Amino acid sequence: MDLAIYSGYKVVLIDSMISARRKFIINNITLCTRGQLDLLLEISIETYRDTFIESNSEELMQQYLNDALTREKLAAELNDVDSSFYFIYWQEQVAGFLKVNKVGAQTDLKDDKSLEIERFYIRKAFLRQGLGKGLMTFACDLAKQANKEYVWLGVWEGNFPALHFYKSMGFYQIGSHPFDMGGDIQTDLVFKKEL
């Protein structure tokens, strides 16, 4: 077989495999229901702690969790018609989650032409399997289906893996805002991606 033809076939085959994997990932994302509140709370605390504990004291972490990630607050967020949570599954386990906000629930920009990605977490055990890309593609598709022009999010300036990931997905910085981490005012960078 001619090497050029073989190489081209190999590229097409790899592209097909990647496309099939993305479709599989996206088909394993479901809307979080009120009946899954306890699971959402558990995974929210786990992923937040895993992401930020090395950069913050245990005292600040506990204060933030006690203030921001309570059962009552998550229940109110689940009941908000302008917010939606989605679980991503891998091998029948919840591997991460996403929270998106329409204009009525947005934390900063409050632009009807946008969809905010307020929370975006993959559990440690499921990192580096393409799930983040699948979940982000899903979030962007939600925004497109709702006729939004762009998505945006806030990301802590010291979360270098997340900054790298968002940039690799086509996001760029448009501003910043303060973030209260258990009484310590930190800086979140505001990132945007046009659709």
The residues annotated as belonging to the active site are 166
Would you call 117 helix, strand, or coil by DSSP? strand
Residues in the chain: 195
Residue 61 CB partners (closer than 8 Å, separation 6+): 49, 52, 53, 182
Would you state the structure tokens that stand for residue 176, as one six-digit string? 């910043």
What is the distance in angstroms between the CA of the first residue and the CA of the last residue of the chain?
A: 41
CB-based contact 99:83 (threshold 8 Å): yes
